[in-house]
Amino acid sequence: MGQPLRYGRGSASLFLLLGTLRGESLFDRARALQAQGQYGEAETQYRAFLREQPRSIPALTNLGVVLARESKFEEAIDAYQRALSLDASATPAKINLALAYYRTSEWLSAAKWFQAALEDNPDDRRALQLLAISYIQSRQYSAAANAYERLLPSTDPPILIGLSTAYREIGKRAESERILTTVLQQSSQSAEVQYLLGLAQYARQDYSEAVQSFTKTITLAPTRADGYFYLGATYFKQRKFEDAIGTWRSGVNADPQYFPSIFALGALLAELNRYTEAKPYLEQALTARPRDAATQLEMGRLYLREGRLQAALPLLESAAKLDPKSQQTSFLLAGAYQKVINAYALKGIDIDIENTDEFQNNTVQDRILSALKIIKTNNPSITTVVTFGTTTTGPDSTGTRLINQSKALGSNIDVYTIMPFDFGGSNMVTDTENATNGLRDKLKTAFGWSNATAYAHIGISGMNGKSDNAETTSTANWTSIRDWSKTNGLARLSFWSVNRDRQCASGGQTDSCSGVSQSSWAFTKINAGF
């Protein structure tokens, strides 16, 4: 946490001290949860701490670590970058950012940040070795050779085989063969050496040699799951699909819990339209890694082909959040939306972009907007709606970005609907009107519309009764909002939700009652007059 802050006397200082103590308690709780391997709970605590102390570099770095543990690498990268924006010399953030890029196979970015971390700690041999591997993977073989040479002298086979690979690619064939011969003479019957040789051959696309090395790996270590996986992957690269399937099946038999072979087998069978065979493997992969984007995408695609829309949509939408760079997601989402439209002969489709992992993620925004563009192109008469949160004065920077990007992408959205609640409202009629007028002005700026045209592209989705933040919209308030919306020609008026449109039996509010004095279905009857 660094040096403790010093406070003077007085009530203001006491307030700051109490706030800091509460923050430290959150931070300590998060660290304890992280140490216990309870990463989801730790993430929640770190985020709560950061809402109070958003410039805490240790909290941002630790948040990135737990996100990476949850395979939320894009979010982890964002956390590390935020830490570095506050302190460009934060070495832990640098090395962890490099590792996150390494785990997502973004080799150029990984190399950049391993280099930065090594400037702070030149003797970090593990970082240097990962830098060399990143160079190999990005085909920067001269740089890889230099990095491996910095690790010499060494008898470690991974380092020597990596150096041999780099030398081979930059034309130092004699040195490459000499190193390789030395390694094989020392450890020719080592499954690990054969495996590493296979990886090097696979990386430089010498697939025939890689098959031999991975086959020797399995012969020497018949239960080695990664040997089966890479042998299958090599067959796949050679387009020997049946050999790949057979090898991955053997790998799953050798280690029924080895995820890469399970997933690869299911994905290949699905790609070959052998859905019945693929399904149990993909379901097993999804159970093992429920937040793996590639698995969600493949399982969602399979469910889509089976016509199981309710199962497919959540997986595809979640995959878009977890791996927003996937180019397939927009098309698959559009395909899923289209099946829903066809199944129910829909006249409109409303996509709620609400959670922080979608609303505040620019790439996810773009995926959804692109999917809606495809829907609009294929269904010109359908009404497309996007629904998102607001402040009391209109969309924040994230909402503004959504509006501007919808225009840039040509999404042709018909209605932009705001949710004017849980936004610090005090007078819900005035605040809702102000928020709507803020949206109106954003639309006018983006599209050059008049007031009337902007209003005709606006919707309100309010909260009937009490909100989670104890904001109160009475039936009288909702009547005023309805009348104002009608007068200004808004496109849409709705509320959350009909199942709450009744008075609570004993005060308060729940998901099944509004928390205000009303007759049953009062809000619905008011809305009928819109």
C-alpha 76/C-alpha 498 separation (Å) is 38
Tokens of 40: 């989801």
Q: Where are the beta strands (DSSP E) in 290-448?
A: 348-352, 383-389, 415-419
C-alpha 442/C-alpha 458 separation (Å) is 11
Asked if 262 and 288 count as a contact pair (C-beta separation under 8 A), the reply is yes
- Please name which of 453, 442, 437 lies closest in space to residue 392, comparing C-alpha atoms: 437
C-alpha 160/C-alpha 151 separation (Å) is 9
Asked if 496 and 476 count as a contact pair (C-beta separation under 8 A), the reply is no
C-alpha 139/C-alpha 119 separation (Å) is 22
Asked if 249 and 225 count as a contact pair (C-beta separation under 8 A), the reply is no
277 as an active site residue: the answer is: no
Asked if 132 and 144 count as a contact pair (C-beta separation under 8 A), the reply is yes
Q: Spell out the residues 6+ positions from residue 202 whose beta carbon is closer than 8 angstroms to its own.
A: 210, 230, 233, 234, 237
Asked if 73 and 105 count as a contact pair (C-beta separation under 8 A), the reply is no
Tokens of 432: 């809702």
Q: Spell out the residues 6+ positions from residue 298 whose beta carbon is closer than 8 angstroms to its own.
A: 263, 266, 267, 270, 282, 285
Q: SS in 3 state form for 61-76?
A: HHHHHHHHHCCCHHHH
Active-site residue among 354, 358, 433, 471? 354
C-alpha 90/C-alpha 145 separation (Å) is 28
C-alpha 216/C-alpha 430 separation (Å) is 75
C-alpha 375/C-alpha 277 separation (Å) is 32
Asked if 41 and 31 count as a contact pair (C-beta separation under 8 A), the reply is no
C-alpha 357/C-alpha 412 separation (Å) is 24
**Residues identified as active-site:** 354
